[in-house]
C-alpha cells in the first residue's frame, strides 16, 4: 500500500449538485429555489432567527439568570483547608503557593467548614466570616481587620452634602 494510491471508499464521496445546468440535470429552471419569494431571488436572505417581521422566539421568551464576570475573583477557603498549611502567617500569596486558592484569584475569604486546631495569623488581604474569625481566635490565632474605605470621590461628595448649601 502506498500513500499516493489511497482513495476514499466507493460511494462515500458524492459530487455536489451543480444547479441551474439544464433540464436534463434535474436541477434546471428554478434550480431548487422554488417559485418566487425572497429566497428565490439573488441576494434574498434574512438574518438567523428572523421570522418575517414577527417578534422572534429569542426575544419573546423572558431573560433569566445572571452570570457574574467577577464571581471567581474572591476564592472561598474552608477552615479545614487551613489545617494543612505549613506556615503560620496566612496571606493570599501563601494560600496560592499551597494550591488552596487559584492563581487568578484577587482575594480570599475564610468560611466556617471543618475544624481548626493550629494557631494562625491571618493577614489583612484575606477576609474571614464572623464564625471563621471566632474559630481562628478560639484556636489561639488572630485576624487582622482593615476597614474598607470609601473611594475618595464618594467621600468628597458625602462631605459636600453634609456641609449643606453655601450661602
Q: Measured between alpha carbons, how far is residue 124 from residues 1, 4, 105, 145 in Å?
A: 70, 69, 15, 6
Which residues of the chain form beta strands (DSSP E)? 74-78, 89-90, 107-111, 121-122, 126-128, 142-143
Q: Is the pLDDT assigned to residue 151 strictly greater than 90?
A: no
Q: Is the pLDDT assigned to residue 146 strictly greater than 90?
A: no
Q: Is the pLDDT assigned to residue 109 strictly greater than 70?
A: yes
Whole-number Å distance between alpha carbons of 63 and 24: 52
Is 123 in contact with 138 (CB distance < 8 Å)? no
Q: Apex CA 91: angle with CA 85 and CA 96, to 5°?
A: 65
The larger pLDDT score, comparing residue 31 to residue 147, is at 31
Query: What are 120-129's pLDDT values in tens digits?
Result: 999 888 999 9
Is 143 in contact with 119 (CB distance < 8 Å)? no
In the prediction, which pLDDT does 45 show? 81
| Segment holding 130, helix H or strand E | helix 130-138
Q: Which three cell numbers stand for residue 105?
A: 484569584
In the prediction, which pLDDT does 149 show? 61
Q: Report yes or no on whether pTM surpasses 0.85.
A: no
Q: Is the pLDDT assigned to residue 132 strictly greater than 80?
A: yes
Whole-number Å distance between alpha carbons of 131 and 37: 69
Domain locations in the chain as residue ranges: 73-143
CATH topology assigned to domain 73-143: Ribosomal Protein L15; Chain: K; domain 2 (3.100.10)
Query: What are 49-97's pLDDT values in tens digits?
Result: 999 899 999 999 999 999 999 988 999 999 999 988 888 899 999 999 9
The larger pLDDT score, comparing residue 160 to residue 54, is at 54
In the prediction, which pLDDT does 159 show? 77
Whole-number Å distance between alpha carbons of 71 and 107: 11
Q: Is the pLDDT assigned to residue 118 strictly greater than 80?
A: yes
Q: Is the pLDDT assigned to residue 166 strictly greater than 70?
A: no
Query: What are 27-60's pLDDT values in tens digits?
Result: 999 999 999 988 899 988 888 999 989 999 999 9
Whole-number Å distance between alpha carbons of 20 and 34: 12
Amino acid at each position: 500500500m502506498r500513500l499516493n494510491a489511497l482513495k476514499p471508499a466507493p460511494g462515500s464521496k458524492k459530487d455536489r449538485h451543480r444547479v441551474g445546468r439544464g433540464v436534463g440535470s434535474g436541477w434546471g429552471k428554478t434550480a431548487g429555489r422554488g417559485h418566487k419569494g425572497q429566497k428565490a431571488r439573488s441576494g434574498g436572505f434574512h438574518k438567523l432567527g428572523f421570522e418575517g417581521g414577527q417578534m422572534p422566539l429569542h426575544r419573546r421568551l423572558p431573560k433569566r439568570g445572571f452570570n457574574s464576570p467577577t464571581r471567581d475573583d474572591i476564592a472561598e477557603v474552608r477552615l479545614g483547608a487551613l489545617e494543612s498549611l505549613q506556615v503560620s502567617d496566612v496571606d493570599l500569596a501563601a494560600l496560592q503557593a499551597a494550591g488552596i486558592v487559584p492563581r487568578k484569584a484577587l482575594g480570599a475569604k475564610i468560611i466556617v467548614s471543618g475544624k481548626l486546631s493550629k494557631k494562625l495569623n491571618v493577614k489583612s488581604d484575606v477576609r474571614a466570616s464572623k464564625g471563621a474569625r471566632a474559630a481562628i481566635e478560639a484556636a489561639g490565632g488572630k485576624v487582622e481587620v482593615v476597614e474598607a474605605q470609601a473611594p475618595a470621590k464618594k467621600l468628597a461628595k458625602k462631605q459636600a452634602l453634609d456641609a449643606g448649601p453655601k450661602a
